[in-house]
Structure 1
């Protein structure tokens, strides 16, 4: 029997006692998806999600009244954050160089208890930077480059898949590999691993410049299909390659995070075979719901960088 609406439930998660509230609250009215179902999704997907969150400052988007209500971004750990939640204080400057005049105290979501705590706050979307922090909470250089493929109508996921193959080739020209992930919204994200330490490591300014150079090169080669210009008026029918998410202050939705859309879709890692099929067939790719993601993970595990 489920708890009565509005009642609180105490649960033990990894040795931590959490008070869970409003399990029956509908967070996705179109599908009737409740907070309890969201908590179940995050618990079930945690084995593949948590490695993508490990050591990364997490920015949350919260929908306390469901996705048809208002939402807000939250960077700092909120009042009432449990003492056992790991946090990191990082400078507000985009370069993470410490030249800014303030800091932000981010939570780090590296265990199921923290993930459950965040989900209970209706933090449906979990966004992370391209850099991690060390054991003392000090930001390292980025360990990856990300390019966000954002289609301008009438372009869609099919066109994103076609352009993703072009981006993959352009990155290969620079001796970089990449992994594709649906955004859970409209497009695709491509992640290219980078060394975070040593001579070859780049700071956030360096990775931003590299991503921008790739985007501008592809716009020059394929001006009818690709744009690197942020102005939305210049995007119709093209795929915008958003290179700016490599800035030290910017974030990208984490693989396996839910999205605050009409349906409970989630960012989902793909194989390149799937992207190639999507480039050929307009109906081969779709943004997956949380139930579809759980079925997929049960069958395939995490295909990111497989």
Structure 2
């Protein structure tokens, strides 16, 4: 990425103002805004794939991860010419499709990127997702639970890709063809959730209220629905270690990899090594499973 000149950089023919490049954003990791923008540029071929044409919510941390934050759904004014927006239910969402737009948001200390689960103008899901949400701050069983869910999906004829949330949880992603509805996939999710909670009642729960879950991992099939968002694959997270939401191999899950193992300081090396694991997996035949549940 070009070095900032007089407070701005030019990317893809667009001038982007850069303010306070030496401001610490992740102080524990020594990541300043300048470093963050360099890392965003490196992540952009992967991250933008899961932001393009979706309704974007970002979480901004003007004073870094140790400061206050706020969710931003409405596009801030004034908007540069390379930012596209879509009005949806009274909110003027950004639909991010370019590196200049990503860096513009990064300069405003948008540290997390949470896209909608459907494309702008559509009510159909882009993929199927199961969210495994620990009830404890540290959950050593999260990869064990992920492996169980992966095996159940495999038994149904569905390959999947697990990804760390970048925080404490894991999402299991199943690529799908367009045409399936949220309601159809929610029924499959409920079926899988009931199965794993009955087989492993000490590990999983379908209880929505966190205070009633005890130490169990919440099998959240309800998060996959219209109007909800997902921590995008390859989004940074506003955690002290600058973790990144990272797709994993099933061998890594079996080796009990930690969600903290992948972060802004090593994610480039990983992506050079394994590429985008989600993009490599073709759409799965969820239609057969849906038909079998009727």
What's the TM-score bracket when you normalise by the shorter of the two chains? 0.7 to 0.9
What is the distance in 2 between the residues matched to 1:192 and 1:124?
Answer: 26
Structure-2 residue corresponding to 1:289? 263
User: Among residues 147, 168, 176, which one is paired with 1:165 in the alignment?
Assistant: 147
Cα deviation, residue 86, structure 1: 1.5
- 1:96 matched residue in structure 2: none
Please report how far the alpha carbon of residue 154 of structure 1 lies from its aligned counterpart in structure 2 after TM superposition.
7.1
- Say if 1:285 and 1:262 are closer, same or farther in 2 by CA, change over 3 A: closer
* Distance change in 2, residues 1:305/1:219 (3 Å): farther
Equivalent-residue separation in structure 2 for 1:295 and 1:256 (angstroms): 13
**Tell me, which stretches of 5 or more residues in structure 1 are unaligned?**
92-102, 279-283
- Structure 2 contact 123–226 (Cα < 8 Å) conserved: no
Mapping 1:55-70, distance limit 5 Å: 55-70=53-68
Per-residue deviation at 1:285? 2.9
Distance 2:208 2:231 in 1: 19
Give 1:176 shift. Answer: 2.9
Q: Which whole-Å deviations, capped at 9, do the CAs of 1:79-133 have from their partners, x for residues lacking one?
A: 1122321212223xxxxxxxxxxx2221111111111111111110000122113
Residue 132 (str. 1) matches residue 105 (str. 2): no
CA distance in 1, matches of 2:56, 2:269: 26
1:123 aligns with 2:110: yes
Structure 2 spans left out of the alignment, 5+ residues? 281-294
Superposed, 1:101-250 pairs within 5 Å as 103-133=90-120, 138-153=121-136, 156=139, 158-197=140-179, 201-202=180-181, 204-250=182-228
Report the counterpart of residue 25 of structure 1 in structure 2: 23
> TM-score, normalised to structure 2's length?
0.87
1:33 CA drift (Å): 1.5
Alignment partners' CA distance in 2, 1:42 and 1:257: 9
Native 8 Å contact 2:119 2:125 kept in 1: yes
Per-residue Cα deviation, 1:145-168 (whole angstroms, up to 9, x for no partner): 111112223762x41211112212
Q: Where in structure 1 do 4 or more consecutive aligned residues deviate above 4 Å? A: none
